[in-house]
Chains A and B, each alone.
Chain A
Amino acid sequence: AQTVTQSQPEMSVQEAETVTLSCTYDTSESNYYLFWYKQPPSRQMILVIRQEAYKQQNATENRFSVNFQKAAKSFSLKISDSQLGDTAMYFCAFMKLFGATNKLIFGTGTLLAVQP
């Protein structure tokens, strides 16, 4: 069974600074996706960034980038130039690439507070 672990329940960063959120996972699968989702107080789960395990290049989306270490089963999210609107709960998630059901397996989340 796959598991996703986020060891930082809460983090705080100053506006315009850079912050890194950690995520580790455990799987015996070779082909999978990893995701970071953002859940603001509005509750809507929003996809931040996606990484395909077969790609060696780390994904980037504007101010968001990941450090994907497949051998170490580590998938951290770096947020550059933090903005007040980045304040939210961030979830790391795993999804097997092949199989009858492609369910997302989530970590317990990291609450990020961006301070003015």
Chain B
Amino acid sequence: ETGVTQSPTHLIKTRGQQVTLRCSSQSGHNTVSWYQQALGQGPQFIFQYYREEENGRGNFPPRFSGLQFPNYSSELNVNALELDDSALYLCASSLVPGNEQFFGPGTRLTVL
């Protein structure tokens, strides 16, 4: 059984650019949640996708958007990057919403 994978591992962008982060969910899981973890903080919920539809959103601006594909993998897109977007972005998958969430290793995004 393959766990949750994320790509890339690290990414460096400049302010104003756009970025796409990718996540492959664990086999059989149809729900993906994205979290932002700033340095020294706990993860903050960005949004959740269930069966290709957004299933809830945290307190993040619209320039944070996502997609979920038929194979339940997911993308997180961030437009007009700001310095404060520098963080570890975690993806977690679950069998269905409400079940245990299994996390990937994260993508470290640095915005200069």
A residues touching B (Cβ–Cβ < 8 Å)?
A: 4, 37, 42-47, 50, 91, 93, 95, 97-98, 100-109
Contact = CB atoms under 8 A, between A and B. Distances in A.
Contacts of A109: 40-42
Contacts of B101: 104
- Give the 8 A-B CB pairs with smallest separation, nearest first: A101-B56, A106-B42, A45-B103, A103-B45, A102-B98, A102-B97, A43-B106, A44-B105
A100 B56 contact: yes
Contacts, number: 61
Contacts of B35: 104
B58 interface: yes
Interface in B19-72: 33, 35, 40-45, 48, 55-58
A103 B33 contact: yes
Interface of B: 33, 35, 40-45, 48, 55-58, 88, 90, 92, 94, 97-106, 108
A106 B42 CA distance: 6
Nearest to A9: B40
Nearest to B106: A43
Most buried by A among B43, B44, B97, B100: B43
A103 B48 contact: yes
Nearest to B35: A104
A44 B42 contact: no
Nearest to A97: B98
B56 A50 contact: no
A43 B105 contact: yes
Given A103-B48, A109-B41, 10 more contacts: A4-B42, A37-B103, A42-B105, A45-B106, A47-B100, A93-B42, A100-B97, A101-B97, A102-B99, A103-B56
